[in-house]
């Protein structure tokens, strides 16, 4: 038996039995003569309030393997998680759920609990956590798809498993998550049906005639862009009509579609203030006049809710969706979900030219990229305006280039004459010969071309040296004709 430097013991044992059918364990005589007999085991004492607990794990093929397993177990104990090499997937998932109860919302916990108990534990519960591999998850996906399971539901189930296994990697319990890469890609989001502004107006006008109370709720959702749970969980104490502002502090959530609870908003940035337009303020005032008892009963379980039943009980989210679809059919507009009204608010503001940063702050997103990726969808009219803008920009650039090309081809005659004059002046400017002195160069003047008079037959040709007081100027480089002789 060998004792580690810190804690724990590592020894070799076997399953041989004596004549009384009792295991010999570490006292088998063959362990001294045969080094390949038996397997290695580690044992470590775990402190407890009233008694000592000893954890033994065996079946390791070598001393180094048992030592590494012991080190992992002690590291997990120091880090606050279970690193038992014999831990099953069932034990791990149950421990993980118990730890997540303190940090997750009740609705998220209910969904995680359903996936763990109904899908993950029956599929992988008997396996040891260290033996779970990617092939096991891929086989599970194949079986579920063959049985007709929806891809979206199956993806959410695998996302729960991936979240749990990701914690094991962060805690150094496992070196790599078996759920990575994902065995099932995220299904594409279904195409959303967004109303146009004409359809939204038609729907609201019909709602004010058919159901005034629900019309106030839908006016509020479209005018503020709040989420369904935030609107249903809004209290009158958080509404300030004189300042035209409201504060989002809580949301109404349904657990298992029947149990209603008040929870914090979705994200940290969701807990913020929202401006109120005059149209939304009018809907809230109408709501205050039509249902005053909804926020006056101090003994109601949900006291002070803005949108509630006449007796003060909160509205069921499922009932709001059913009523929205019923009114949409009666008004002759396409069916949409309640969350699509938030998309409608974002689409109307983006189409009207509101900067994306302002839209992101209005919708209380944590990052600008969330708004750009989720809520920057455009209607057909806005899409046409975008491509028309590209066309107009290219057309203006093409027309500008054409005008510049025509100006180069069709220059004015005055410019042509000016270029000819400059060329003539350059030709008339003589270059002084190198043999002339500086004083002579200063006296040189441009020669004037003089045509000699016509000679008669009986007259002698003029002398080349002097003629009428002129001398030839042919020796001047670049000049023709005669110039006055120097006395």
Q: What is the CATH number of the domain that holds 151?
A: 1.10.150.130
Whether residue 54 lies inside any domain: the answer is yes
Give the torsion sign (CA, 306, 308, 310, 313): negative
Cβ atoms of 251 and 227 within 8 Å: the answer is yes
pLDDT of residue 480: 46
Same domain, 296 and 271: yes
Same domain, 304 and 356: yes
Same domain, 259 and 337: yes
User: What is the residue whose two structure tokens read 């009740």?
Assistant: 106
Same domain, 218 and 363: yes
pLDDT at 74 over 90: no
pLDDT of residue 415: 61
Least confident range from 49-53, 84-88, 268-272: namely 49-53
Same domain, 214 and 68: no
- Which one of 374, 406, 441 terminates a domain? 374
pLDDT band of residue 262 (cuts 50, 70, 90) is confident
pLDDT band of residue 210 (cuts 50, 70, 90) is very high
Whether residue 100 lies inside any domain: the answer is yes
pLDDT of residue 295: 46
Structural domain containing residue 126: 89-170
Same domain, 331 and 275: yes
Cβ atoms of 156 and 111 within 8 Å: the answer is yes
How do beta strands 251-255 and 2-3 pair? Answer: unpaired
Give the torsion sign (CA, 28, 31, 34, 39): positive
Whether residue 45 lies inside any domain: the answer is yes
Whether residue 480 lies inside any domain: the answer is no
3-state SS, one letter per residue, for the chain: CEECCCCCEEEEEEEEECCCCCEEECCCCHHHHCCCCCEEEEEEEECCCCCCEEEEEEEECCHHHHHHHHHHHHHHHHHCCCCCCCCEHHHHHHHHHHHHCCCCCHHHHHHHHHHHHHHHHHHHCCCEHHHCCHHHHHHHHHHHHHCCCCHHHHHHHHHHHHHHHHHHHHCCCCCCCCCCCCCCCCCCCCCCCCCCHHHHHHHHHHHHHHCHHHHHHHHHHHHHCCCHHHHHCCEHHHEECCCCEEECCCEEEEECCCEEEEECCCCCCCCCEEECCHHHHHHHHHHHHHCHHHHCCCCCCCCCECCECCCCCECCHHHHHHHHHHHHHHHCCCCCCCCHHHHHHHHHHHHCCCCHHHHHHHHCCCCHHHHHHHCCCCCHHHHHHHHHHHHHHHHHHHHHHHHHHHHHHCCCHHHHHHHHHHHHHHHHCCCCCCCCCHHHHHHCCCCECCCCCCCCCCCCCCCCCCECCEEECCCCCCCCCEEECCC
Strand partners, 240: 245
Same domain, 218 and 343: yes
Provide the terminal-to-terminal Cα distance of the chain, rounded to the nearest Å: 135
467 or 430, higher pLDDT: 430
**Which whole number is the average pLDDT over 402-417?**
69
pLDDT tens-digit series, residues 282-336: 999 998 887 655 445 555 557 888 998 887 788 889 999 999 999 999 999 999 9
pLDDT tens-digit series, residues 184-193: 998 887 777 8
pLDDT tens-digit series, residues 421-439: 788 887 877 655 554 444 4
pLDDT of residue 478: 45
Neighbours of 367 (CB within 10 A): 11
Cβ atoms of 220 and 280 within 8 Å: the answer is yes
Least confident range from 60-64, 86-90, 415-419: namely 415-419
Same domain, 349 and 274: yes
Same domain, 43 and 103: no
pLDDT at 6 over 80: no
Same domain, 103 and 244: no
Whether residue 388 lies inside any domain: the answer is no
Whether residue 417 lies inside any domain: the answer is no
Give the Cα separation of 130 and 353 in Å (integer): 55
To the nearest whole number, what is the mean pLDDT of the chain? 80
Most confident of 242-251, 399-408, 443-452: 242-251
- Which one of 341, 374, 407 terminates a domain? 374
pLDDT band of residue 475 (cuts 50, 70, 90) is very low
Whether residue 230 lies inside any domain: the answer is yes
Same domain, 226 and 134: no
486 or 310, higher pLDDT: 310
166 or 53, higher pLDDT: 166
pLDDT of residue 452: 52
- Which one of 38, 53, 79 terminates a domain? 79
- How many domains is the chain partitioned into structurally? 3
Whether residue 487 lies inside any domain: the answer is no
> CA-CA distances (angstroms) from residue 293 to 233, 296, 307, 312, 320?
16, 5, 11, 7, 20
> CA-CA distances (angstroms) from residue 229 to 160, 238, 254, 257, 313?
23, 15, 9, 13, 15
| Nearest alpha carbon to residue 272 among 243, 247, 250 | 247
pLDDT at 444 over 50: no
Same domain, 9 and 72: yes
Least confident range from 142-146, 222-226, 256-260, 344-348: namely 256-260
Q: What is the token pair recorded at 389?
A: 């803008």
CATH number at residue 322: 1.10.443.10
**Which whole number is the average pLDDT over 216-242?**
91
**Which whole number is the average pLDDT over 382-390?**
75
Give the Cα separation of 438 and 92 in Å (integer): 108
């Amino acid at each position: 038996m060998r004792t580690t430097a810190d804690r724990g013991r590592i020894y070799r044992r076997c399953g041989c039995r004596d004549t009384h059918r009792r295991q010999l364990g570490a006292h088998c005589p063959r362990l001294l003569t045969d080094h390949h007999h038996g397997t290695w085991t580690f044992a470590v004492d775990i402190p407890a309030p009233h008694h000592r607990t000893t954890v033994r794990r065996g079946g390791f093929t070598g001393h180094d393997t048992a030592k590494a397993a012991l080190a992992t177990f002690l590291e997990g104990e120091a880090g606050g998680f279970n690193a038992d090499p014999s831990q099953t997937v069932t034990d791990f998932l149950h421990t993980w759920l118990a730890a997540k109860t303190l940090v997750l919302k009740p609705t998220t916990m209910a969904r995680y609990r359903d996936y763990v108990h109904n899908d993950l534990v029956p599929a992988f519960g008997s396996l040891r956590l260290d033996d779970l591999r990617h092939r096991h998850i891929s086989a599970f996906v194949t079986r579920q798809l063959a049985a007709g399971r929806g891809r979206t539901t199956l993806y959410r189930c695998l996302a729960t498993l991936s979240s749990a296994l990701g914690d094991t990697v962060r805690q150094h319990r496992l070196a790599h998550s078996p759920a990575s890469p994902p065995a099932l890609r995220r299904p594409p989001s279904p195409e959303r049906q967004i109303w146009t502004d004409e359809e939204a107006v038609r729907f609201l006008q019909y709602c004010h005639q058919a159901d005034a109370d629900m019309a106030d709720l839908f006016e509020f959702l479209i005018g503020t862009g709040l989420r369904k749970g935030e609107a249903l969980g809004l209290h009158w104490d958080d509404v300030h009509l004189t300042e035209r502002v409201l504060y989002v502090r809580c949301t109404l959530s349904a657990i298992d579609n029947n149990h209603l609870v008040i929870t914090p908003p979705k994200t940290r940035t969701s807990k913020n203030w929202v401006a109120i337009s005059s149209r939304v303020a009018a809907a809230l005032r109408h709501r205050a006049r039509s249902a005053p008892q909804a926020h006056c009963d101090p003994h109601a379980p949900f006291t002070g809710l803005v949108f509630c039943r006449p007796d003060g009980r909160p509205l069921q989210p499922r009932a709001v969706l059913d009523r929205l679809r019923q009114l949409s059919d009666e008004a002759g507009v396409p069916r949409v979900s309640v969350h699509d009204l938030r998309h409608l608010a974002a689409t109307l503001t983006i189409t009207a030219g509101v900067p994306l940063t302002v839209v992101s702050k209005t919708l209380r997103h944590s990052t600008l990229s969330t708004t750009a990726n989720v809520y920057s969808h455009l209607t057909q009219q806005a899409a046409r305006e975008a491509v028309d803008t590209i066309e107009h920009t290219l057309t203006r650039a093409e027309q500008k280039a054409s005008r510049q090309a025509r100006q180069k081809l069709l220059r004015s005659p005055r410019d042509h004459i000016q270029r000819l004059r400059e060329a003539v002046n350059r030709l008339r400017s003589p270059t002084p010969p190198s043999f002339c002195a500086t004083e002579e160069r200063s006296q040189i003047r441009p020669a004037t071309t003089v045509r000699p008079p016509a000679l008669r037959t009986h007259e002698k040709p003029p002398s080349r040296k002097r003629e009428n007081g002129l001398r030839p100027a042919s020796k001047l480089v670049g000049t023709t004709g005669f110039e006055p002789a120097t006395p």
